[in-house]
Amino acid sequence: MTKGQLVLETGEVFTGDWLGYESEVTGEVVFNTSMTGYQEIFTDPSYAGQIITLTYPIVGNYGMNSINIESDRLQIAGVIINDLCDKPSHFQAKTTLSEELKQNRIPGLKNVDTRALVAVIRKRRTVKGRIVLEKAFPDYKYSFSIPNTKHLVQKVSVKQPIQLGKGDCHIVVLDFGYKKSIVEGLLNHHCKVTIMPFSEKSASIQALNPDGIIISNGPGNPKELQLYFPVVKKLTENYPTLGICLGHQLIALAYGADTEKLPFGHRGSNHPVKDLLTGKVKITSQNHGYVVRKDSIDPTIFLPLFQHVNDGTIEGMKHHFLPITTVQFHPESHPGPSDTAYIMTEFMEQVRHLGGITYAQSIK
């Protein structure tokens, strides 16, 4: 069996057995604590450019199918796991995890001490790493350069507008790396959905005469997308808007707030978030390495809506005067709990109310 290594830029080396496509790759090394949902994680565009470490010890036991996907391909740069199950048992399984990794030309390592790796990530904070073939005497220095955020977003965003559904309410998704579950949620609310490339001009979007806007999730550092802040601000000033994950950060930045990198991110399906209006705690699915700085939010513009229970970071905002709501987590879940699915419902009710259409009327 081919041996491989994960070499961190901080000097640590973790050895394992090769998994998937045999090719060396560099990425930001992060970890996800979800017990299930590896297929949704691997196909989530927000993970573009990242080497994912899964903390759950056994991966692959229910295989890969054509249903639980968040995009048209695997998006991760690489994967690190402990124990691989390559004989899945599930009636929907079409391929194994290792087969899918090979088909998508994605390398990985198995039989790695993932507990020790996560401990290093938590100690060192998120670091870059490179998956390499094991060499007794490496004859070159490892490169840890990774693509910038604009390059990652260009890779995962749609290249041409895509229109889906025939509902009475038209929602435009500005695509920085949207998850399929977001669009499915909109279609379930009887919407016509147009997915637009992230670089689209505001005039082109306004020409579509949308009833509402969703600024999607996506990969990377939101500050590296400064070029698109004016478009985000103009759209939010003119249409009811829901910002999700990266979309939440972009809206905050467009209105003068600041973001910062977390020590090792929030990635998992059991993150507790407190609703600051009701005091209730929701369990959420999250995937982000950056947050909006609480002290940078102008209290005359935005009201904080949600706060992470573990570290107190801001997880959502609401504009005082405009119909703008943002969340740092995934209200559509997949994978994860559906505690916050009501956020999408409330957004659609707001859109239809402002457009003179009640939700009850729309589903008759």
Q: Which residues are catalytic?
A: 245, 330, 332
Residue 147 has which token pair? 């693509």
Position 249, amino acid: Q
> How far is 61 from 45, CA to CA, in rounded Å?
23
DSSP labels, 47-92: GTTEEEEE-SSEE-TT-B-SSS-SSSS---SEEE-SEE--S---TT
Ramachandran class of 86: left when φ > 0, alpha when ψ lies in -120 to 50, beta otherwise: alpha
For the purposes of burial, counting CB atoms within 10 Å of the CB of 301, is it exposed (0-12), middle (13-18) or buried (19 or more)?
middle
How far is Cα 88 from Cα 79, in angstroms, rounded to an integer?
18
What single DSSP character describes residue 278?
Answer: T
Q: What is the DSSP string of 171-198?
A: EEEEESS--HHHHHHHHHTTEEEEEEET
Residue type, 232: V
Which amino acid is located at 356 in the chain? G
- Could you give the 3-state DSSP secondary structure of residue 324? strand
